[in-house]
Amino acid sequence: MKRRSTAKLVSCLAIAAALGAAMVGSPASAATLRMAWSQDATGLDPHKQTAFSSIRLLELIYEPLVRLDANLQIVPAVADSWQFSSNGTELTFKLNPNAKFQNGEPVTSADVKASFERILNEATGAVARANFLSIASIDAVDPHTVVFHLSQPDVPILTAMTNLNAAIVSAGEIAKGAINTTPVGSGPFKLEKWDPNSREILVANKMWAGGATGIEGINISVLPDETAILAAMRTGQIDFALLNDPLIATLIPREDRLVLNRAPVLAYHVLQLNPSRKPMTELAVRQAISCAIDRKEVLDTASLGEGKVTGPITTPSFATDPNSLFCYKRDVEKAKKLMADAGYAKGFSATVIAATGEPPTAAAEAQIIQSQLAEIGVKLDIKVMELNVYVDTWLKGDFDMAVALNGGSADPYSMYSRYWTKTGNLQKVANYIDDTLDGLMQKGRAETDPAARKVIFSDFEKHLAEMSPWIWLYTSYSYTAQQKSVQGFTGTPIGSLFGLSKVTVQQ
Partner 1 sequence: MGYLTRRLVTFPLVLIGVSILVFVAIRLVPGDSITAMLGTEAGLLTPQQRVALTAYFGLDQNWLVQYWHWLLGLFRGDLGISVAYGKPVLDVILDRFPLTLELAFLSMIIALAVGLPAGVFAATHNGRPSDLAVRIFAMIGQSTPSFVVGLLIIYVLSVGFGALPTMGEFSPFWQDPLRNLSQLIFPAITLGLAFAASVTRISRSAMLDVLSDDYVRTARSKGAPARSVIWRHALPNALIPVVTLSGMEFGYLLGGAVLVEKIYALPGLGRVVLDAILQRDYALLQGSVLFIAFNFMVVNLLVDLAYSALDPRIRLGER
127 binds partner 1 (CB under 8 A): yes
130 scored as a contact of partner 1 (CB under 8 A): yes
For residue 260, give the nearest of 238, 235, 241 by alpha carbon: 241
Which of these segments, 97-105, 203-211, 229-237, 448-456, binds partner 1 (CB under 8 A)?
Answer: 229-237
Number of residues that bind partner 1 (CB under 8 A): 58
Q: Give the shortest CB-126-to-partner 1 separation in angstroms.
A: 8
Q: Using CA of residue 335, residue 340, residue 343, residue 348, what is the dihedral sign?
A: positive
Which element (helix H / strand E) includes 283?
helix 283-292
Dihedral, 468, 471, 475, 476 alpha carbons, nearest 10: 180
- CA dist list (Å): 212 to 48, 102, 215: 29, 14, 9
The rounded distance, in Å, linking the Cα atoms of 17 and 436 is 72
For partner 1, which residue of 1, 2, 4, 23 counts as binding (CB under 8 A)? 23
* Contact positions with partner 1 (CB under 8 A) in 336-395: 386-389, 391-395
Q: Is 231 in the site for partner 1 (CB under 8 A)?
A: yes
Burial 409-431 (b: 16+ CB within 10 A, else e): bbbbbbbbbbbbbeebebbebbb
Which one of 94, 199, 296, 334 is in contact with partner 1 (CB under 8 A)?
A: 199
Instruction: Tell me: does residue 18 bind partner 1 (CB under 8 A).
Output: yes
Long-range contacts (CB closer than 8 Å, 24 or more residues apart) made by 364-369: 364/301, 364/302, 364/303, 365/269, 365/271, 365/298, 365/302, 365/403, 365/473, 366/403, 368/297, 368/298, 368/301, 368/302, 369/271, 369/293, 369/298, 369/403
Please report how close the Cβ of residue 239 comes to partner 1 at its closest, in angstroms: 12
Taking the least distance from each CB to partner 1, the nearer of 9 and 51 is 51
Q: Specify the residue, 14 or 141, whose C-beta has the smaller distance to partner 1.
A: 14
What string of DSSP letters covers 194-225? EETTTEEEEEE-TT-TT---SSSEEEEEE-SS
Q: Does 225 bind partner 1 (CB under 8 A)?
A: yes
- For the bound state, the minimum distance from the C-beta of residue 506 to partner 1, rounded and expressed in Å, comes to 20
Q: How far is the CB of 80 from partner 1 (least distance, A)?
A: 30
Work out whether 97 is an interface residue with partner 1 (CB under 8 A): no
Binds partner 1 (CB under 8 A): choice among 198, 276, 324, 349: 198
For residue 32, state whether it binds partner 1 (rule: CB under 8 A): no
User: Closest separation between CB of residue 208 and partner 1, Å?
Assistant: 26
**Rounded to the nearest whole angstrom, what is the least distance from the CB of residue 221 to partner 1 in the complex?**
2
Binding site for partner 1 (CB under 8 A): 18-20, 22-25, 36, 42-43, 48-51, 122-127, 129-130, 180-181, 195-199, 219, 221-225, 227-228, 230-232, 234-237, 386-389, 391-395, 406, 418, 425-426, 429
